[in-house]
């Protein structure tokens, strides 16, 4: 009899814990899915808004951002049109502004960099490309695709 009561008590406690966890998960999911733009573009915005495929319309150059961790480290790659790895891919926050820095160390691009800012209003990455070999700077824009 005591074993049955103990088993029923344990089952009731587990049910209560699972019900609480499910309720909290549903609340979190509802909050984040109902207002993704507000969460992504507010002053305390996370870096997740940066994930995606970004294309430079003036030449088809592509930055693909697969993931961003809370510290701003980007899982990103570059294509021109062949894929090239970034030696540095980092996002930082300056107030409400999201800034990105990329450096290429592959053949023909050694030391070339992109210094970009995320423009939430236009959903674009804007900034400067420094072509290290030619020692030239170019204003650039990347559109989300």
Query: Tens of pLDDT along 4-36?
Result: 444 443 444 333 333 333 333 333 333 333 333
Which has more pLDDT, 45 or 90?
90
- Across residues 24-52, what is the average pLDDT? 50
Check residue 80 and report its DSSP letter. Answer: S
Distance (Å, whole) CA 40 – CA 68: 13
- 33, with CB counted inside 10 A (0-12, 13-18, 19+), is exposed
Distance (Å, whole) CA 43 – CA 121: 13
Close Cβ partners of 138 (under 8 Å, ≥ 6 residues apart): 128, 129, 131
- Name the band, by pLDDT with cuts 50, 70 and 90, for residue 2: low
For residue 129, the cross-strand partners are 114, 138
The lowest-confidence range among 28-32, 41-45, 113-117, 122-126 is 28-32
pTM above 0.95, yes or no: no
- Across residues 50-74, what is the average pLDDT? 95
């Amino acid at each position: 009899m005591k074993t049955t009561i103990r088993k029923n008590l344990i089952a009731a406690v587990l049910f209560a814990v699972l019900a609480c966890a499910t309720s909290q998960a549903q609340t979190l999911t509802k909050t984040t899915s109902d207002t993704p733009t507000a969460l992504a573009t507010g002053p305390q915005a996370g870096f997740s808004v940066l994930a995606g495929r970004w294309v430079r319309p003036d030449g088809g150059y592509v930055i693909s951002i697969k993931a961003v961790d809370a510290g701003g480290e980007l899982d990103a790659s570059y294509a021109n049109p062949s894929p090239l790895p970034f030696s540095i891919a980092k996002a930082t926050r300056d107030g409400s502004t999201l800034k990105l820095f990329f450096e290429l160390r592959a053949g023909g691009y050694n030391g070339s960099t992109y210094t970009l800012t995320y423009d939430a209003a236009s959903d674009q990455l804007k900034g400067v490309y420094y072509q290290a070999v030619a020692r030239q700077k170019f204003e650039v824009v990347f559109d989300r695709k």
